[in-house]
Amino acid sequence: MKLEGAVPSRVLDTIRAPFLAAGGARLEAPIVQPLSLFLDLAGEAMRERLFIVQSPTGEEACLRPDFTILAAKAHLESGAATGRYRYEGHAFRVAPPGSGRAEEFLQIGLEAFEAGDAAQADASMAAIAWQAAVAGGREDLTLLLGDVGLFSALIDSLGLAPALAARIRRSFASPRRLRAEIASARSEEAPRSSDGGRLASLLAGLAEDEAAMVLSEIWSLAGIEPVGGRSAASIAHRLAEKAASAAAPRLTPEQADAISTYLAIADAPRPALEAVSRLPIAHPQALAEAIGAWERRLAALEQLGAPSDRLRLSTAFGRALGYYDGMLFEIRSEALGAEAPVAAGGRYDSLPARLGGGTTVGAVGCVVRPGRAWVGGAA
């Protein structure tokens, strides 16, 4: 297993300083964690990157791949409304074969579960990560910004039917599916309706509880054993949704163009936001709010010392990066490349709820890899 080289302690002190200044309780967490915690939240794709260990009683566990989920869990268990947690320790990820990446590495990070001005908090996190990253001595760093929420705002501003809007919003994470939606909008062919056939459209025409009863009767007549935990009511409900979505199944060519143009925007932040605000859309209000939030983030970043000539905003960035649902960022070194970011972070407001907590406060954090930040280290 490839290990990182050690970072000189004076360099580590400088990298650590912005995190100490930000305050927060020191988070300690066991290296060995239950496997289901990460798979439930991050999905099966995470499994290949985890070092899995098995206890003698057969439970599956893994070596912690990061601290964010652990911080969220600790915060929920504390019962406090708000909290801020700083951590420093080794994390473990299986490297893709042939990549030569370290599989055990040091992380220093901060997670904040707080109410208040989200845009300001986002900027502070990014600024902390920036100060820590440059303390490693590299001079070729860029701060790449993205925003999952901005895409969502764009979709809101297009005025799509709810089922279609939900589908497009979900495809943000899958470049292939989004391309397919855009291609389908531009093609001449009538949309292939997967509305479930005649039975489905008949059921969709009934009131939902009636449809559920009819469905149960049909199952019993056809000798179908209902397995799999979805009730007749929820299946009938979805049939109704599918029928509705079949009526408005796809984007118009103009909407597809607006989305394509949006996804191609990658520039210094202000020109990028300008390009976004120039998109031809039906309801500019939803988008205007999100753009306004960005103005405040950028102002705060400038004030906190992040050099504006090193910032970049890419609308397509962050598409498959797990649980972030708002602003997100990476700090990259030209020497190390896009596959080995020096630092990363973002907002993940909906994650605590999935762990069983409330949704009253936001969640935002950042993490730095000193082994990469240090200019004297290998990749």
Partner 1 sequence: MSGLILAIPSKGRLKEQVDSWLADCGLRPRTVGGARGYLAELEGLPEIQVRLASAGDIAASLAAGDIHLGVTGEDLLAELRDAGGAEVMLLNALGFGRADLVVAAPRSWIDVQTMADVDDIAHAYLARTGRRLRVATKYLVQARAFFARHGIADYRLVESGGATEGAPAAGLAELVIDITSTGDTLAANGLKVLDDGVILRSQAHLAASPRAAWSDAAMGAARRLLGIVEARARGKAMASLIWPAAQDSDARAALAPFAPPGDAPRANGLLVRGADLFAATAALAAKGVGPVSVTRPAYVFEAQSEAAERLAAAVGLEPEPAKV
Binding footprint of partner 1 on the chain (CB under 8 A): 36, 39-40, 43-45, 47-48, 96-98, 167, 170-171, 173-174, 176-177, 194, 196, 199-200, 215, 219, 224-230, 235, 238-239, 242, 320, 353-354, 356
The Cα diameter of the chain in Å comes to: 76
Minimum CB distance to partner 1, residue 272 (Å): 26
Distance CA 150, CA 288 (A): 10
Q: Are 104 and 90 in contact (CB under 8 A)?
A: yes
Q: Which is nearer to partner 1, 73 or 332 (CB)?
A: 73
Based on its alpha-carbon atoms, the radius of gyration of the chain, rounded to whole angstroms, reads: 24
Strands 83-92 and 25-26, sheet pairing: parallel
Cβ closer to partner 1: 80 or 353? Answer: 353
Least distance between partner 1 and beta carbon 230 (Å): 6
- For 356, other C-beta atoms within 10 Å of its C-beta total 9
In contact, 342 and 368? CB cutoff 8 Å: yes
The least distance separating partner 1 from the CB of residue 371, rounded to whole angstroms, comes to: 23
> Which one, 94 or 266, has the nearer CB to partner 1?
94
By C-beta, is 51 or 268 nearer to partner 1?
Answer: 51
| Cα–Cα distance for residue pair 305/285, rounded to 1 Å | 31
Task: Say how far apart CA 80 and CA 39 lie, in whole Å.
Answer: 26
Please, what is the minimum distance in Å from the beta carbon of residue 176 to partner 1?
6
Q: Which is nearer to partner 1, 144 or 246 (CB)?
A: 246
Query: Of the two residues 73 and 297, which places its CB atom closer to partner 1 in the complex?
Result: 73
Do the beta carbons of residue 314 and residue 266 sit within 8 Å?
A: yes
CB of 40 to partner 1, least distance (A): 6
> How far apart are CB 379 and partner 1 at their closest, in Å?
18
Which residues partner with 103 through β-bridges?
Answer: none
State in angstroms the smallest separation of the CB of 98 from partner 1. 5
- State the DSSP code for 306: -
| Contact between 133 and 256 (Cβ < 8 Å) | no
Minimum Å gap between C-beta 177 and partner 1 is 5
Q: Which is nearer to partner 1, 79 or 356 (CB)?
A: 356
Give the C-alpha separation, 149 to 122, whole Å: 13
Q: Could you give phi then psi for residue 151, rounded to 5 degrees? A: -65, -40
Q: Which is nearer to partner 1, 10 or 223 (CB)?
A: 223
Whether the CB-CB separation of 150 and 122 falls below 8 Å is answered with no
